[in-house]
Structures are given as C-alpha cells and as structure tokens.
Amino acid sequence: MNCSNCGICCTETEMLLSNEDIKRLEKKGFHKKFFMKTDKSGYAQLRNRNGYCVFYDLKKRQCNVYTDRPSGCNVYPVILDVEKGIIIDDICPEGDSISVEEKAEKGKAVVKLLERIDEEAKNRR
C-alpha cells in the first residue's frame, strides 16, 4: 500500500484497541487515559483531540507512534463491513494501491483482531 499521509484515516477515528495495543502504547510511556476511552460495552477505542487521533501530528502529517501503532491502524484501510464483508475503506485515497493478495492477508488479520477485541470487551464489562 502507498500511504500519502493525508490524515483522513486519523480524522475522528473510531479505531478499536486490543489489550496488546494498550500494553504496547503504555510501554512507550503513554498513559491509558491519554490515548484511550472505553464504551459501555467494554470496547477500548483511540481518543481524538482536535478532530484527529491523539497520536496524529497535523503539522508533520504523520503518526507519532507509527512503529507502535494499533493493530487496526496497521491493517487499515482493509476493514470489515457488516453487510459487505472484508472491504477497502472508500475514504482512503490510496485504497486502490492495495493488491488482491494484500487485501486477503490483511482481511484475515482483521477478522482475527476483531474476534480478540470482542472477547476482551466482554471481559472488561
């Protein structure tokens, strides 16, 4: 995939976090209250600040934790649409640079990640 660093995917993000993501970001020195919120169903989600993910640097147009970014960010723009299945998010201007093979590989990762996140959310309730 060819990322243009446009920041569209970091705008008003609703990115879910796994326990592994949370631990990795805490290990980098970030406090959970800074980067995550939990909804009533127990799902952990990235926080936004000024309309962008807390880790997105608008001036530099880059992620401040890119090498340690959440797993969902790593597989993006491949997402699971409840009605359509595994798709490439149409808001990504570089979505057409993803090969069929990459979409399939990332799609498998998305399914596994969401299964894990669902289980973790149940345990947070």
- 97: pLDDT strictly greater than 90: yes
Domain count, the chain: 1
- The answer to whether residue 2 sits within a structural domain is no
The encoded tokens of residue 17 equal: 């976090």
Please report which confidence band the pLDDT of residue 111 belongs to, taking 50, 70 and 90 as the band edges: very high
Residue 3 lies in a domain: no
pLDDT tens-digit profile of 53-83? 999 999 999 999 999 999 999 999 999 999 9
**SS3 assignment, position 73:** helix
Question: At a CB cut-off of 8 Å and minimum separation 6, what does 13 contact?
Answer: 46, 48, 52, 53
pLDDT score at 64: 96
Is the pLDDT at 114 greater than 90? The verdict is yes
Residue 57 Cα to chain centre, angstroms:
16
The answer to whether residue 62 is domain-embedded is yes
| DSSP conformation class of 11 | B
Nearest to 108 by CA among 64, 71, 59: 71
Residue 111's domain spans which residues?
A: 8-124
CA–CA gap between residue 56 and residue 10 (Å, rounded) = 7
> pLDDT > 70: what percent of the chain?
100
Count how many Cα atoms sit within 13 Å of the Cα of residue 46 in the half-sphere of its side chain.
25
Residue 73 lies in a domain: yes
How far apart CA 35 and CA 10 sit, in angstroms, is 13
Residue 119 has pLDDT above 90, yes or no: yes
Average pLDDT over residues 99-118: 97
What type of residue is 38? T
3-state secondary structure of 118: helix
- In this predicted structure, the answer to whether residue 87 has a pLDDT above a threshold of 90 is yes
Residue 83 lies in a domain: yes
Q: What confidence score (pLDDT) does residue 5 get?
A: 86
Residue 12: its pLDDT value, please? Answer: 96
pLDDT in tens, 9-56: 999 999 999 999 999 999 999 999 999 999 999 999 999 999 999 999
Does residue 93 sit within a domain? Answer: yes
C-beta separation of 103 from 80 below 8 A: no
CA-angle at 120, arms to 116 and 122, nearest 5°: 120
The answer to whether position 1 is within a domain reads no
